Amino acid sequence: QYKRIREGIITCILATDMTRHSEVLNKFKSIVPVFDFSSREHKDLLMMVLIKVSDISNEARPMEVAEPWLDCLLQEFFNQSDVEKLEGLPVSPFMDRDKVTKPSS
């Protein structure tokens, strides 16, 4: 049971990767008409979509709630890209403080 829970957590975390956004949504859309709660695959996709919705829900919040969270997120991204630059690693464009502005994010 521990293994299954761990797999579920990892699956959900990986679902927040925006490079997989379309893939996850398209898979989910394809099963919605025939969703089966006894199917592990269907339940996993539902978990992934619920996590994705939670992950990107900040944009639907009032500005006074959303903006402080955006500031924290941008700082996290910028810190990561700074380290990646120092290490000579590729930097995601949406994390690069030299390319991202708050209004564009």
Question: Which of the four pLDDT bands, split at 50, 70 and 90, describes residue 94?
Answer: confident
Residues 8 and 51 in one domain: yes
Are 50 and 79 contained in the same domain? no
pTM of the model: 0.67
For residue 103, being part of any structural domain is answered with no
Q: Report the pLDDT value the prediction gives residue 56, as an integer from 0 to 100.
A: 85
Rounded CA-CA distance 11/15 in Å is 6
Burial of 104 (0-12, 13-18, 19+ CB in 10 A): exposed
63 touches 28 (CB < 8 A): no
86 CA to centre of own chain: 25
Q: Are residues 12 and 48 in the same domain?
A: yes
Is residue 101 over pLDDT 90? no
CA dihedral 86, 100, 74, 76 (to 10 degrees): -10
pLDDT tens digit sequence for 26-85? 999 999 999 999 999 999 999 999 999 998 888 889 999 999 999 999 999 999 999 999
Contacts of 73 (CB under 8 A, 6+ apart): 58
Same domain, 41 and 67: no
| 49/8 same-domain check | yes
| Number of domain units in the chain | 2
Q: Are 44 and 62 in contact (CB under 8 A)?
A: no
Assess whether pLDDT exceeds 80 at residue 105: no
Give 38's DSSP letter: T
Instruction: Specify if 101 maps to a domain.
Output: no
**Full domain range(s) for residue 90:** 61-95
Q: What's the Rg (C-alpha) of the chain?
A: 17
